Amino acid sequence: MSETPQDPGPLGPAAAAGPTPQPLPRAAVAWSVGSVWALALVLGILIALLSHPVHYASWLSLALGVCVIASFGSQLATQQKDGFVNRLATTLTGTFVILGAIGAILGVITLGH
């Protein structure tokens, strides 16, 4: 007599994944992305106000590095793996655009002097 299980339960990768996670609310996405954009803007303004024109590029690259680390921290703090790459790409793209625009403005201002 062979025994067969009555209810083998869920099998396969879907069983290992567990319950389907809830998507991150739009407000949380906006805060996690917008906070890093605001950081980039504040750092850019501080660089423009406090730095010597010769050092603009050095400080802007440092600000970009800080924003990259802050982007990872901000997106990891959401504790949501779904959409992580898209949120990180959005955060970093916005940071590049903000600091790039500030760098371009500072470059034009420096050329005028």
| Domain-embedded: residue 14 | no
| Domain-embedded: residue 61 | yes
| Domain-embedded: residue 5 | no
Report pLDDT for 24: 82
Report pLDDT for 40: 98
| Domain-embedded: residue 22 | no
Report pLDDT for 37: 98
| Domain-embedded: residue 4 | no
What's the number of domains the chain is made of?
A: 1
| Domain-embedded: residue 30 | no
Instruction: Write out the residue range of the structural domain in which residue 79 sits.
Output: 39-99
| Nearest one of 32, 65, 30, 72 to 47, comparing CA atoms | 65
Q: Is pLDDT of 12 > 90?
A: no
Its pTM surpasses 0.85: no
Report pLDDT for 26: 87
Q: Is pLDDT of 2 > 70?
A: no
| Domain-embedded: residue 31 | no
Dist. CA 62–CA 77, nearest whole Å: 22
Query: 43-92: per-residue pLDDT in tens?
Result: 999 999 999 999 999 999 999 999 999 999 999 999 988 899 999 999 99
Q: Are 8 and 32 in contact (CB under 8 A)?
A: no
| Domain-embedded: residue 24 | no
Report pLDDT for 3: 63
Alpha helices in 8-83 (DSSP H): 13-17, 26-50, 56-77
